[in-house]
Homo-oligomer: A and B are copies of this chain.
């Protein structure tokens, strides 16, 4: 399923962060990065060489122009990002350090995206040359209209034969428009073929999650969502802000495929790690015939993300493949 276009739908955010390990109270400057769950996926896919397009909404000012330019840099088609009233969603993110967690101040209310009208997008046209549609649980969380548009898109995608992937991405602070995720998401998930699962409740630093546990958790999702063909899991163990473990699993209804488990020390920035994983899954499913390299690629690429500032996983396909094939060490190439 390799040539056709992949469509993502979601909000693009400006992230503003104190440089390095500085705290909000210590800085006179904020670093700018653009991101958002689906934008991160889109930029990764474009950077890996797939044909990808982001559907979204932004206000009409210079900083929103920059959000679009960020996507253009990585070959994401932006022609269906409409410009309208409302704000550019912002989030302020202070980095984690040692035993101190990261701190996020969301400032994305009343953004152009949350105020989208339900009939704004012509999904039939957008999906015309597409084979895949990706969304995350953040999109229906931000406003009722966003949820309704998402529903429409999923329905049309299914009608037109696209594969649909979803990252649950639960953010408690975002579901404020009247309904909870448990009321909204089940219906949307019905139309999905690939989805992220929640790993069984096990301390991944100490114990290994068994294949059986993953299989059971994945099967439950498949039972509830008959379209679902693949469930993916990422498992994070947190020793400190700078030292995690990171591993993945994929269940296809028959078998559990496991990645190796990476020891992530000297972490630079964990934000976007999950999006990098999801992008890796989509890339893999659109590239490989077998499932083992899919989960291997996804975990290798998202491991690399932890060494990169900003939301976006600025690594090349070649670098991911190199890590997949290596023993984990990192050498200077010269």
Contacts and interface: CB of A to CB of B under 8 A. Distances in A.
A334 interface: yes
Given A173-B334, A240-B330, A266-B240, A88 B107 contact: yes
Contact of A98 (B69, B94, B306): B306
Contacts of A306: 98
A161 interface: no
A317 B275 CA distance: 32
A308 B171 contact: no
Which of A100, A267, A331 is the most central at the interface, judged by chain B CB atoms within 10 Å of its CB?
A: A100
A322 B266 CA distance: 23
Interface in A300-334: 303-304, 306-310, 314-315, 319, 322-323, 328-334
B73 A69 contact: yes
Please state the number of chain copies in the assembly.
6
Nearest to A25: B314
B29 A104 contact: no
Interface string A197-238: 000000000000000000000000000000000000000001
Given A73-B69, A304-B99, A109 B92 contact: no
A110 to B, nearest CB: 6
Contacts of A122: none
A28 to B, nearest CB: 6
A89 to B, nearest CB: 11
A21 B62 contact: no
A172 to B, nearest CB: 8
Nearest to A102: B332
B314 A26 contact: yes
A97 interface: yes
A265 B238 contact: no
Task: Report, nearest first, the 8 A-B pairs whose CB atoms are least far apart.
Answer: A98-B307, A97-B307, A238-B329, A241-B330, A102-B332, A242-B266, A104-B334, A24-B62
16 contacts: A21-B268, A21-B307, A24-B63, A28-B28, A30-B30, A69-B73, A97-B268, A97-B330, A98-B306, A99-B307, A100-B307, A100-B319, A265-B265, A266-B266, A270-B332, A271-B332
Interface of A: 16, 19-32, 61-63, 65-66, 69, 72-75, 87-88, 90, 92-94, 96-107, 109-110, 171, 173, 238-243, 262-268, 270-271, 303-304, 306-310, 314-315, 319, 322-323, 328-334
